[in-house]
Each structure stands twice: as structure tokens, then as C-alpha cells.
Amino acid sequence: QQQDLKPAGQPAIEPKNLDEGRDLEYVATFEVFPEIEVKDYSGIKVVKPKAEVTDADLDKMIENLREQRAEFETVARAAEDGDQVVIDYAGTKDGEAFDGGSAEDSNLVLGSGRMIPGFEDGIVGMSAGEEKVLSLSFPEDYHAEELKGAAVEFKVTLKEVKTKVQPELNDEFFKLFGVEEGGEEAFRAEVRKNMEGQLESAIENRIKQQVLDGVLDAHSDLQVPKALISQEIDALRNQQLQQFGDLAKQINAKDIFPDEVFAENAERRVKLGLVLNELVNSESIEADADKVRAAIEKMAASYEDKEQVINWYYSNPQQLQGIESLVVENQVVDNLLEKAQVTEETSSYEKVMSPPDEEAAEEE
């Protein structure tokens, strides 16, 4: 307080004098928050995708929805690629069984790539009740050391062949998506509405990401405290561990997710958070109440009892604060966007909805 310093993280204390009757002396070493200079952000370049949901996009989405709810039905014919088969198999290496090489009543979709190369192809053409011996080799990069590149045999007995059957476009199917009346026309309208909402959000996210990338580029030389990066790494690791449920208590988190896995992302998040916070303070930005309400209503739109969800957010200070922080961040982005160099680019629904890394790979 005397030096008007802003510590980042806990200090390391080195005692210098602890003798009784004498003044206590120590050295405290700690990192401080950096001084952040608000810069000229007019050089930020943003490409705004311009896209719409076409009839072809809608048809493809409906086919995807049918595919997701497809079921396998038993058929009396030879197995084909894409079928699900029920099999028993027993693997041997040099005439001896090996760990994990046998199973009974195993369900396998042919063409899924779940088994080693040649296994699924060898079952294509087999019929229920048929037996076959497959002579195969494990890949050289297989995870089990004793099986890398090993020549093996699998005795396969095919018990059942099932083919995938998509549900019909009928009232029963439409009800699965909350369309109680109006038939296929109402169903298509509801799917299109959801797709248009997803497209709008995806475009907003792409624009926001470009603005934030531009801000980071403008502060590429900013050094952030290691203590804050360490805290962010721990937060990211805990988020990842939530997927494991109760199992997370039984594992060593740092062994499975070492610091370096999150280091780059953590540094980016810390740097961005510090810069955005400075922009919020310098421009005295506060969460717009109407925008907070709109954000909550948008999140509640997918629930049956929307008002209950809205009331829950407003009665839960921690959740409400999270929405307010997001709204403030978006307001900062909107301010920066007004200064940025924005150009439009004609795109498609599929391209905008693809993850950026997939899109880059396609272009490459």
C-alpha cells in the first residue's frame, strides 16, 4: 500500500532477522500486475462472413437428424460396409491367445475403423452362422509393445447382420424436436429457425475472435505475471477433469494433464483478460441491463419454461455476474469493431459452421 503496488499472486518470504528482542526483517518477492497502455486499434482487420441457410443446407441437416436417430435392424443377407454385425472372435499369435484378442457377442459397425486394418474388410460378405479365419498384422505403431507389427489370426463367427434404418419423416419423428402440429412444413421451419440462430452466433463468434486476436497482436510484447498464468493453468486443468466425474479424485491430474498442455492457452487468456479489463476501466464500461436481459432470454429460449430459467439467473448472483461479464466483454468488442477495418466475404452455412482449423485444412 505504501508503494502503491498491485501484487499478482502470493509473495515468497525470505526471513532476514527473527532474533527475539530485535526488529523483524524479511524480504518479500512478488510479481506485480503490468502497466497496460491503451493503444490504437484502428489497424485491426476483420473479415465478416456473409452466409444464409439454403434449402440444400436444410435438407442436409434433416438427413443428419435422421441419421442420428437411425436404428439397426436384423436382415437375412451377407454383411455389407456400414452394417452392424454381432460376432465372436478369438485372436492368436504364434498359436497362443493374447490379452484383449477375444470377445463374444461383440457389436461392430463395418467401416468404423474400430478394429485393426483388414479385420472389418474380412467380415464383409459373411452371413449369419458363417465362420472365417482372418490372417492379419497389427500396425507398427500399435500401442501394445508386444503386438507392434505382429502377425496374428482371428477366428471370427458371425452371429447376426443388422442394417441401419433411418426413421420416417412423420409426426412421431417431428415430436422428438418439439413440433406437435403442422407436419413436415412446421418441422422444416423449426429446423431452419434453429440453423439461422446457430449461423448468427457462429458469425458473431468469428468476428469477435478476429477482434480479440487483433488486440493480442497489438500487445504482443506484454509480459504477464507467471503467477496468474499458473492460476489459469490450474483452472483449465480443473475444467478438463470435470469430464472424469468421481474418477477425477482417484487420478493425479498433473500426470494426465501436465502444465505445458494448457500453458499457451492460459497465457493468452491472462493477457487478454488484463487488456480487456484495462479497456473496460479506461472507457468506464458497465453491463447494459437490456443486453444482459437479452442474453439471458436467448439462453432460456431452448427451455420449455423460459420464465423459470430467466428468474433463476436473476436470483443467482454468481450466474448473473457471469452473464454481465460476458455482456461487458461483448460491449468492448463492439467498441473495437467500430474502429476496425471490416470487410465482408461471401461464404456458406457449412463453411461458417466448420471449426476454423477444419476450414483452414480444406483451403490448404
Q: Do both 339 and 357 map to the same domain?
A: yes
* Same domain (yes/no): 122, 239: no
* Confidence at 240, pLDDT banded by 50, 70, 90: confident
264 and 140 within one domain: no
DSSP codes, 287-314: --HHHHHHHHHHHHTTSSSHHHHHHHHH
- Residue 20: pLDDT band with limits 50, 70, 90: very high
Question: Each residue of 293-302: pLDDT tens digit?
Answer: 999 998 888 7
pLDDT digits (tens, 9 = 90+) for 134-159: 999 999 999 889 999 999 999 999 99
Kindly state whether residue 262 falls inside one of the protein's structural domains. Answer: yes
Whether this prediction's pTM lies above 0.85 is answered by: no
CA–CA gap between residue 276 and residue 295 (Å, rounded): 20
Asked whether residue 259 is assigned to any structural domain, the reply reads: yes
Q: What is the mean pLDDT of residues 166-180?
A: 92
pLDDT at residue 126 in the model: 96
Confidence (pLDDT) at 241:
84
Please give the average per-residue pLDDT across 247-252, as a whole number: 69
Mean pLDDT value of segment 120-136: 96
Shared domain for 226 and 314, answered yes or no, is: yes
- Give how many domains the chain has, as a whole number: 2
Task: Kindly state whether residue 27 falls inside one of the protein's structural domains.
Answer: no
Residue 360: the pLDDT is 52
Query: Are residue 266 and residue 234 in the same domain, yes or no?
Result: yes
What's the pLDDT at 213?
95
189 pLDDT band, cuts 50/70/90, is very high
Please report whether residue 208 resides in a domain: yes
Domain span at residue 233 reads 45-63+175-363
> Would 55 be classed as within a structural domain?
yes
Question: What does the pLDDT average to over 31-54?
Answer: 93
Q: What is residue 115's predicted lDDT score, i.e. its pLDDT?
A: 95
Instruction: Evaluate whether residue 139 is within a structural domain.
Output: yes
Whole-number average pLDDT of the chain: 91
Given a contact cutoff of 8 angstroms between Cβ atoms, the answer to whether 233 and 259 are in contact is yes
In this predicted structure, what is the pLDDT of residue 205? 94
**Dihedral sign for Cα atoms in the order 186, 187, 189, 193:** positive
pLDDT at 362: 53
pLDDT band at 355 (very low <50, low <70, confident <90, very high): confident
Q: What pLDDT score was predicted for residue 248?
A: 63
Give the model's confidence band at 44: pLDDT under 50 very low, under 70 low, under 90 confident, else very high.
Answer: very high
Residue 113 vs residues 108, 118, 241, 294: alpha-carbon distances, Å: 10, 9, 28, 45
CATH number at residue 235: 1.10.3120
Q: Are 51 and 110 within one domain?
A: no
pLDDT cut 90: percent of the chain above it: 80
So what's the pLDDT on residue 156? 96
The answer to whether residue 68 sits within a structural domain is: no
- Candidates 108, 195, 207; CA nearest to 160 is 108
In this prediction, residue 242 carries a pLDDT of 82
Instruction: Name the band, by pLDDT with cuts 50, 70 and 90, for residue 211.
Output: very high
Average pLDDT for 86-93: 96
Please tell me the predicted confidence (pLDDT) of residue 305. Answer: 86
Return the beta strands (E) in the chain as ranges.
Answer: 7-17, 25-32, 45-50, 71-74, 84-93, 96-109, 131-137, 151-165, 341-346
Tell me the pLDDT tens digit for each residue of 271-323.
Answer: 999 999 999 998 899 999 999 999 999 888 878 788 999 999 999 999 999 99
Length of the chain: 364
Q: Which three cell numbers stand for residue 147?
A: 503386438
Average pLDDT score over residue span 75-82? 95
Q: How far apart are CA 217 and CA 45, in angstroms?
A: 11
Pairwise CA distance, residues 331 & 11, whole Å: 35
Which of 141, 165, 189 is at the close of a domain?
A: 165
DSSP 125: T
- Mean of pLDDT values over 197-202: 94
User: Quick one: 108 and 239 in the same domain?
Assistant: no
Is residue 282 in a domain?
yes
